[in-house]
């Protein structure tokens, strides 16, 4: 996606609010292969918009269908609890051509679905 499409996403977001953003996101990202092949700026914008609309309990398969392949995928064990953590790139911190976890937002799932997201939530599970 080029800058013009990203500009359309921003304008629709401002004019149409969440529903407008979701419509544009759905139109652009109807196929996760399209999301996976985006330039980093476009992908970050799409990921931030998608994360903004997440619902607790959403199934892992639904999230990956909508958001494409995660940049990182881990299992977190906390006592007897097991979580799957998907990291999606949402902000650049270093202009080095590589994606690192600090440039991503973690989405945390248990067997029932999405239980939370963000670094604060993820870090709270590790203590």
DSSP 24-41: HHHHH-SSHHHHHTS-HH
How much of the chain, in percent, has pLDDT values that exceed 70?
70
CB atoms within 10 A of CB 52: 12
Query: pTM to 2 decimals?
Result: 0.69
pLDDT tens digit sequence for 10-29: 555 555 555 555 555 555 55
Residue 67 and residue 2: Cα distance in Å, rounded? 18
How much of the chain, in percent, has pLDDT values that exceed 90?
56
CB atoms within 10 A of CB 34: 13
Residue 119 and residue 114: Cα distance in Å, rounded? 14
Measured CA angle at 59 (ends 72, 52), to 5 deg:
70
The answer to whether residues 113 and 59 touch, using CB atoms and an 8 Å cutoff, is yes
Q: Which two tokens stand for residue 52?
A: 């903004």
Let me know if 15 is exposed, middle or buried by CB neighbors in 10 A (0-12, 13-18, 19+).
exposed
Q: How many domains does the chain have?
A: 1
pLDDT, residue 10, reads 59
pLDDT at 106 exceeding the cut of 70: yes
pLDDT at 86 exceeding the cut of 70: yes
Domain that residue 57 falls in: 3-125
């Amino acid at each position: 996606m080029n800058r013009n499409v990203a500009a359309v996403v921003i304008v629709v977001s401002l004019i149409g609010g969440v529903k407008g953003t979701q419509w544009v996101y759905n139109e652009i990202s109807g196929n996760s292969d399209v999301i996976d092949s985006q330039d980093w700026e476009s992908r970050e914008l799409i990921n931030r918009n998608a994360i903004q609309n997440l619902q607790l309990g959403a199934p892992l398969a639904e999230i990956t269908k909508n958001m494409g392949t995660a940049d990182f995928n881990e299992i977190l064990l906390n006592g007897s609890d097991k979580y799957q953590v998907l990291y999606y790139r949402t902000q650049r911190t270093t202009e080095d051509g590589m994606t690192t976890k600090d440039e991503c937002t973690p989405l945390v799932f248990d067997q029932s679905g999405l239980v939370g997201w963000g670094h604060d939530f993820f870090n709270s599970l590790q203590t």
